[in-house]
Amino acid sequence: MTAPQTLLVTGGAGFIGANFVRYLLDAAPSVRIVNLDALTYAGNLANLAGCLDDPRHVFVRGNITNSELVGYLLQTFEVDGIINFAAESHVDRSILGPVTFVETNVKGTLTLLTAAREARVRRFLQISTDEVYGSLGPTGSFREDSPIRPNSPYSASKAAADHLVRAFVHTHGMDALITRSSNNYGPWQFPEKMIPLMIHNARCDRPLPLYGDGRNVRDWIHVLDHCRAVWQVYRKGRSGEVYNVGAGNERTNLEVVRTILRRLGKPESLIQFVADRPGHDRRYAIDATKLRSELGWRPRVDFESGIAQTVAWYLDHPDWLDKIVSGEYRKYYRTLYEGR
Ligand code: NAD
Ligand code: DAU
C-alpha cells in the first residue's frame, strides 16, 4: 500500500489545474490535495464541481505571491510536494498588460520555491510551456535541450520561472523538475483560448477571428493526456530534469477551425481573418521522446475524437460558457484589437 501524501496544487481552479485535481482524486486514492488558487478572471469554482465536498480536497482562495500564506499551508497540512499550475496564461493578455505576468509567474514561482525549501518539501514540479523555446520554421521540433528563446511577455515570464527552478536545484540541491507541454484542449478551458472561443462563437453564429493568415501551427494535446504526463513526471521523473509533453498533433489554426465548424455543422463563411497577434509565434512542435522512452508515457486521446468530445462538452455546458462571457470578458474583448 502507498503511504498517504499531501500535495499543494496551485492554480487548481483553472483549466489544466481543475482537470488535474479531478484526475488525481480519481487516480491516486492515497493523495490529499490542498488547492491554492487566487480565483482570478480565469479561476472558476464551477470547474471543480463535484470535487469541493471531497474530504481529500481542500480548496484555499489565496495568492501564490503571499509567502506567509504559502508557508502556513505547507506547515499546517504537512505538504510533501508542490505542483505549480498557477499562472497568468494568456499570450494576448500579456501583450496588453505584462505586469501581472511577472508578478504571478516569476515572483509567485520564487515565493513557492523559497517556501518549499524552508519547509523541506520533498519535491517541486513546475508546469511550464513549449512557448519558452520560441518559434520554429517549417521543420524540426523542440527538444529539452533546445535554446530558450521566449517571444511574448507571457513566455518570457514562464522562462524566467524555469530558470529559477533550475537555479534552486543547482544552488540549493532542491528536488525540483519541469514539464513543458504543448497546447492543451478539453473541458473547462476559458473561452479566450482559441478552441473554446471558436466553439462559442460558432454556436452563436458569430465570426471566428483567425489571426493573420491562419497558417500558424500549434501542436495539440488533450488535457487529460497532459494530466497523466504530469503525474508520471511527478512520481518518476529525475530531479533537475525537463520533460517535454506533446502528442504529435500539429495543425494549422485554419485546419482546427474548419474541424470545429464541421463538427457543429456551421459554414466556413463564419471565418474572419483579423489583424495578427504582435510577435505571433509561427509554429510549435514538441519532441516528447524523453517522456516516452524514460517514463513510458503515451498519449491516449487521438485529436479527431478529442475534438469531437470537446465540442460536445461545450455544447452540453452552455450555462458554464454563458456565465463567463459577460462582464470582464466583454471588457477584455473591447481592448483586444486596439493598437493592432
Ligand atoms: P488558466 O489561466 O486556465 O488557469 C490559471 C489558474 O491560476 C487560474 O485558476 C487562476 O485563478 C490561478 N492563478 C492565477 N494567478 C494566481 C496567483 N497569483 N495565485 C494563485 N492562483 C493564481 O491556465 P491553464 O491553461 O490551466 O494553465 C495552467 C498552467 O499550465 C500554466 O502554468 C500555464 O503556463 C501552463 N501551460 C498551459 C498550456 C495550455 O495550453 N493552456 C500549455 C502548456 C502549459
Ligand atoms: O503552447 C502552449 C501554450 O498554449 C500555453 O503555454 C499557453 O498558456 C496557452 O494559452 C497556449 O498559447 P497559444 O497562444 O498558442 O494559445 P491560444 O489559444 O491563445 O492561440 C492558439 C493559436 O490560435 C495561436 O496561433 C493564436 C491563434 N488565435 C488565437 C485566438 C485566441 C487566433 O487565430 N484567433 C484567436 O481568437
For residue range 94-103, what is the model confidence (pLDDT) as tens digits? Answer: 999 999 999 9
* Predicted confidence (pLDDT) per residue in 59-82, tens digit: 999 999 999 999 999 999 999 999
Establish whether 154 is a catalytic residue: yes
Residue 106 has pLDDT above 60, yes or no: yes
Establish whether 130 is a catalytic residue: yes
The dihedral formed by the CA atoms of 246, 128, 225 and 92, expressed in degrees to the nearest 10: -80
CB 150 within 8 A of CB 122: no
Question: What is the CATH architecture of 6-186+221-248+283-301+327-332?
Answer: 3-Layer(aba) Sandwich (3.40)
Sequence letter at residue 96: L
Chain length of the chain: 340
Query: 88, 130, 192, 250: which is the annotated catalytic residue?
Result: 130
What angle, 0 to 180 degrees and rounded to 10, lies between the N-to-C axes of helices 223-236 and 15-27? 60
Kind plus residue range of the DSSP H or E element containing 277: none
Find out whether the beta carbon of 11 lies less than 6 Å from any atom of ligand 1: yes
Beta bridge partners of 142: 286
Report how far residue 15's alpha carbon sits from residue 196's, in angstroms, rounded to the nearest whole number.
11
pLDDT at 196: 98
Report how far residue 106's alpha carbon sits from residue 158's, in angstroms, rounded to the nearest whole number.
7
CB 141 within 8 A of CB 284: no
pLDDT at 2: 66
Establish whether 41 is a catalytic residue: no
Query: 133, 154, 234, 314: which is the annotated catalytic residue?
Result: 154
Residue 253 has pLDDT above 60, yes or no: yes
pLDDT at 82: 98
Q: How far is CA 169 from CA 2, 192, 242, in A?
A: 27, 35, 12
- Could you count the other beta carbons within 10 Å of the beta carbon of residue 315? 13
Residue 292 has pLDDT above 70, yes or no: yes
Q: Could you identify the atom of ligand 1 that is nearest to the CA of residue 86? A: 7
Q: What are phi and psi of 276, to 5 degrees?
A: -70, 155
CB 48 within 8 A of CB 21: yes
Report how far residue 304's alpha carbon sits from residue 27's, in angstroms, rounded to the nearest whole number.
25
Mean pLDDT confidence for 211-239 = 98
Q: Could you identify the atom of ligand 1 that is nearest to the CA of residue 37? A: 21
